Chain A
């Protein structure tokens, strides 16, 4: 029995170690791919290239759709900032998704809204629209008041229905856009008629000084949870997504900011109200639709921060968010399981989805299992303490090295955190993040998996706060 236990413990430890080594190696392999993409992007997207929009006689109308549910703290400032975007022509379609706070009345008072007739067809089904308001002061501002659809997807679909533009930008109500975000995002559509969607890097606004609805000064937040999320975002946006973007395999355009060809979104049926990660699901459906029908298409990705968003600063909100993300990932993997390994879907079927299933899907479960097996094995004397060294090496040290690579890429590409103090802090955050926070995330992912299996639903609550320095 004892020999069997020892063999099982050693076998499990070796398997988990090999798995984690492979996972780390795959991420390290992504770094040069991401670096080349970033470097080429920076060389190509010069100031002159961005001036293309201003050199065009006719520019496409962009409709910026802002789903808003109980956003009284940030909505006015967000809309003011949107009205000052550097692009012409564009309209803003705010969708008040049955807010129970002062969101609608604040909008009405601040932007001089009047109930107005506004005709639009509704190709995407949504909860009933109660009324439509237009601003007498800002002709491009439309506010739709509708019944609560219990999800962002429903509100976004209502906005897409009412949008007049050939391009629709879907953003969160608390997203802060860079002044030239639309110019940057529209350019790939002008350059390549096959472009159906463009996503961008999303930065974390916590700690930044916000002035006039713009990020005026980038700084690290005081809150450690927000700091951890900054390095997580760097890793996610600058390794996996850039590597995917380099082969037209982007499967997630963040809900914080994405620009889509309206007809493409309508062709795939808009956002799915039953999807937990509606942004991931929509991007996946675009990939499936265009690859499945053999149409040439492109989903672009701008590695520069086009938008800034608020990260949760309390444990409860963060935990809810992570549960939701996990359920969203598993739902998408299950929904699109037929694509996995299918050569008809190109890099998405053969590379991105299998990677997501094997590593994103399983890694948290196996990582935690690994810690438990090694801990129990060592405590019971079955395993040598050497196994702990391996666990630390492949988990903490390799994890830190990968995150540092993302920090270097972020620094080379975007020069976000310019103060020396922030740099030192960033190094500390990376080291600390791998000693506890990451493992906690893995735990939340395991709980999220359990929720998925038991059919638990709900968005959880996200505590909102006004922007700093606003």
Chain B
């Protein structure tokens, strides 16, 4: 039988180590769960204790607000969560204003200020979100400054905060960061959406001096543009870049067409670029004015799939003129016929 002395010692050591690690992880599971259970129970108790008071304070009961103000300092963060978190879904201005009043009375803003100066990024992000949700506009400058924070999560939280804050003085800061790729794309769009048509003049001014980023401006105007943007968008439909042309036509679809825009959209149906033709087909969906839009769209039912689909959907949305064109194509035994029949079927009463 083979026994090797060093191996023997190593084996014993290994066995003991593994045993300790295994037992250690069991203990870790139990301790972690016990700590969590204690913390959850404490939080639940605290929330239960203050929930009614918070509701009453939000309804304008000064006595309830005073009771909240008298609460121990260690309960402040739980109270902040009870007050502020519902504002993520409930953006009722009255509720926001009542929350802001109570947050002020509870001296939560200095806590947020302290968090904003924290070295821990999640604390800075938390403070930004809270300031934005409660629309504390006298901290707008701090939130705008956080757009240049070294941590990307904090920058993203700052953008969220500006979206929620809706302070017109910060609008420019949001618009000029339209091309800032270090900020999440979706949040940039959400911020523009929140400001809505207020962004439009800035976007148009910037687009004039910065034609290189026309694609971004066109996409932004598709979210928040009005008929005021139409002239610029019509101009961009003849941009040398196909993606700008497509985005401009798409934005025209959002802002609505006039005769000139419709003429350009119909012209764009002949573009050599599929994306431009598809967007042009989409832009014409409500156009029943001059031009032979329906007939032209009908011809594109046999185009490549993305164009054909947009053309069919536009014909469906056009009303009687579009239906006539769809009927005319419904007898075809190809994909165009299938599309026409599908669009007509969807308009029938069973749908």
Contact = CB atoms under 8 A, between A and B. Distances in A.
A55 B28 contact: no
A408 interface: yes
A411 B193 contact: no
Interface in A331-387: 381-384, 386-387
A49 B342 contact: no
A118 B223 contact: no
A389 interface: yes
Contacts of B160: 48-49, 52
B307 to A, nearest CB: 12
A381 B1 contact: yes
Nearest to B189: A56
A408 B35 CA distance: 13
B350 A136 contact: yes
Contact of B32 (A381, A401, A408): A408
A398 B184 contact: no
Contact of B338 (A9, A117, A393): A117
Interface in B21-39: 21-22, 24-26, 28-30, 32-33, 36
A411 B305 contact: no
A318 to B, nearest CB: 26
Interface of A is mostly: helix
Interface in B69-108: 85, 88-89
A248 B14 CA distance: 34
Interface stretch (B3-11, B169-177, B241-249, B272-280): B3-11
Given A49-B160, A136-B351, A43 B18 contact: no
Contacts of A453: none
Contacts of B223: 57-58
Contact of B28 (A47, A119, A136, A404): A404
B133 A119 contact: no
B15 A392 contact: yes
Nearest to A189: B186
A22 interface: no
B135 interface: no
A44 B85 contact: no
A433 B263 CA distance: 71
Contacts of B341: 117, 119
Interface string A42-65: 011011110110111110000000
A411 B133 contact: no
Contacts of B125: 43
B306 to A, nearest CB: 10
Contact of B88 (A48, A383, A426): A48
A384 B122 contact: no
B21 A401 contact: yes
Interface string B275-291: 00000000000000000
Given A43-B153, A46-B129, A397-B18, A390 B25 contact: no
Contacts of B24: 401
B18 A394 contact: yes
Contacts of A47: 85, 88
A470 interface: no
Interface in B293-327: 305, 309, 312
Given A48-B88, A191-B185, A412-B32, A389 B21 contact: no
B342 A390 contact: no
Contacts of A389: 11-12, 15
B7 A386 contact: yes
A190 B12 CA distance: 54
A48 B133 contact: yes
B3 A56 contact: no
A404 B186 contact: no
Contacts of A103: none
A382 B2 CA distance: 6
Contacts of A397: 15, 18-19, 21-22
A192 B184 contact: yes
B202 interface: no
Interface in A148-201: 164, 187, 190-193
29 contacts: A6-B2, A14-B7, A44-B156, A46-B129, A48-B157, A49-B160, A52-B187, A54-B89, A55-B190, A55-B193, A56-B189, A57-B224, A58-B223, A117-B341, A136-B351, A191-B185, A192-B184, A383-B2, A390-B15, A393-B15, A393-B19, A401-B21, A404-B22, A408-B28, A408-B32, A411-B36, A412-B32, A415-B36, A423-B29
Given A48-B88, A57-B193, 4 more contacts: A58-B223, A397-B22, A404-B29, A415-B36
